[in-house]
Amino acid sequence: MDKEREQLWVRKDHPPSLFRRFQFDNYNNLRVFLDRLADLSEETEYYPDISFGSDYANITVYASNDKELSEEEKTFAQRVDELIDPT
């Protein structure tokens, strides 16, 4: 994950994780994002913790080994960023 994108995520050490809150203009935009996230999770077989309201989604990527985030988990977070404006 590049430094610019990494700054958008909050890194925690206990437990090792990355957290980001995504804000949306309306519920329809949120639904599009959640649908894309579901597709990404199916593709990668990684399922982050998700909580959401009518115009936001909180995503947490936890280290699967409980010790440190793997490159795959960091890449997953980067790919989540790309769901906002896929080009």
Residue range 3-36, pLDDT digits in tens: 555 578 999 999 999 999 999 999 999 999 999 9
3.40.50.1820, 3.90.650.10, 3.30.1360.20, 3.40.30.10: CATH of 3-80: 3.30.1360.20
Q: How far apart are CA 77 and CA 57, in angstroms?
A: 14
Q: Which two tokens stand for residue 83?
A: 């769901």
Cβ neighbourhood burial of 60 (10 Å; 0-12, 13-18, 19+): middle
Q: Where are the domains of the chain?
A: 3-80
Question: What is residue 87's predicted lDDT score, i.e. its pLDDT?
Answer: 47
For tokens 């980001």, the residue is 20
Question: What is residue 75's predicted lDDT score, i.e. its pLDDT?
Answer: 94
